[in-house]
Structure 1
Amino acid sequence: METYEILKAVKSGKISVNDAKKLLSLYSIEEIEGIAKIDINRRKRRGIPEIIFAETKELDEIKKIIKRTLEKSNSVIVSRLKKTDYSKIQTFAKKLKVKVKTGKKSSTLLLFKKPIKFQGGKVGILTAGTSDIGVAEEARLVCEAMNCKCITSYDVGVAGIQRIFPILKEMVEEDVDCIIVAAGMEGALATLVSTLVDIPIIGIPTSVGYGYGEKGIAALASMLQSCSLGLSVVNIDNGIAAGGIAANIANRTIRKKE
Structure 2
Amino acid sequence: MINMGEKFSRELPVDLSTILRKLLRGEISLEEAERRLLALNIRRIRDLARLDPGRNCRTGVPEVVFAEGKDPRTVAEAAAALAKENGYALVTRLSPPQLAELKKRLGRKFELEINTLARAAVIKRRGHVFPQQGKVGILAAGTADVPVAEEAALAARVMGCQVLKAYDVGVAGIHRLFEPLQRMVEEGVSALVVVAGMEGTLPSIVSSLVDVPVI
TM-score normalised by the shorter chain: which range applies? 0.7 to 0.9
Instruction: Give identity over the alignment, percent.
Output: 36
- Measured in 2, the distance between the counterparts of 1:28 and 1:149 equals 28
Q: How does 1:116-131 map to 2 (within 5 A)?
A: 116-131=129-144
Equivalent residue, structure 2, for 1:51: 64
Kept in 1: contact 2:72–2:97 (CA 8 A): no
- Measured in 2, the distance between the counterparts of 1:104 and 1:80 equals 10
> Normalization by structure 2: what TM-score?
0.78
Moved over 6 A (4+): none
Q: How does 1:212-223 map to 2 (within 5 A)?
A: none
- Measured in 2, the distance between the counterparts of 1:104 and 1:199 equals 30
Of 195, 199, 208, the match for 1:182: 195
- Measured in 2, the distance between the counterparts of 1:37 and 1:153 equals 36
- Measured in 1, the distance between the counterparts of 2:69 and 2:176 equals 38
Equivalent residue, structure 1, for 2:115: 103
- Measured in 1, the distance between the counterparts of 2:145 and 2:200 equals 11
Of 154, 157, 164, the match for 1:151: 164
Kept in 2: contact 1:127–1:157 (CA 8 A): yes
Distance 1:42 1:150, change over 3 A: same
**RMSD of equivalent CA atoms:** 2.1
Aligned length, in residue pairs: 182
Of 89, 107, 122, the match for 1:76: 89
Structure 2 unaligned spans of 5+: 1-16, 22-33
Kept in 2: contact 1:119–1:148 (CA 8 A): yes
Spell out, residue by residue over 1:1-20, the C-alpha distance to the aligned partner (whole angstroms, 9 max, x if none).
xxxxxxxxxxxxxxxxx8xx
Report the alpha carbon displacement of residue 192 of structure 1 after superposing the two structures with TM. Answer: 0.9
Tell me which of the two structures has the higher relative contact order, counting C-alpha pairs closer than 8 angstroms and 6 or more residues apart.
1
Structure 1 unaligned spans of 5+: 1-17, 203-258
What is the SS of the residue equivalent to 1:201? Answer: coil
Report the alpha carbon displacement of residue 119 of structure 1 after superposing the two structures with TM. Answer: 1.6
- Measured in 2, the distance between the counterparts of 1:51 and 1:93 equals 17
Distance 1:44 1:110, change over 3 A: same
Spell out, residue by residue over 1:3-44, the C-alpha distance to the aligned partner (whole angstroms, 9 max, x if none).
xxxxxxxxxxxxxxx8xx69x944211212111111021121
Q: How does 1:15-30 map to 2 (within 5 A)?
A: 25-26=37-38, 27-30=40-43
- Measured in 1, the distance between the counterparts of 2:104 and 2:160 equals 25
- Measured in 2, the distance between the counterparts of 1:178 and 1:87 equals 34
Kept in 2: contact 1:49–1:75 (CA 8 A): no
Report the alpha carbon displacement of residue 72 of structure 1 after superposing the two structures with TM. Answer: 1.3
Distance 1:55 1:159, change over 3 A: same
Distance 1:110 1:153, change over 3 A: same
Kept in 1: contact 2:136–2:191 (CA 8 A): yes
Report the alpha carbon displacement of residue 104 of structure 1 after superposing the two structures with TM. Answer: 5.6
What is the SS of the residue equivalent to 2:139? Answer: strand
Q: Does residue 138 of the first structure (1) align with residue 151 of the second (2)?
A: yes
| Greater gyration radius | 2
- Measured in 2, the distance between the counterparts of 1:117 and 1:72 equals 15
What is the SS of the residue equivalent to 2:115? Answer: coil
Kept in 1: contact 2:55–2:62 (CA 8 A): yes
Equivalent residue, structure 2, for 1:9: none
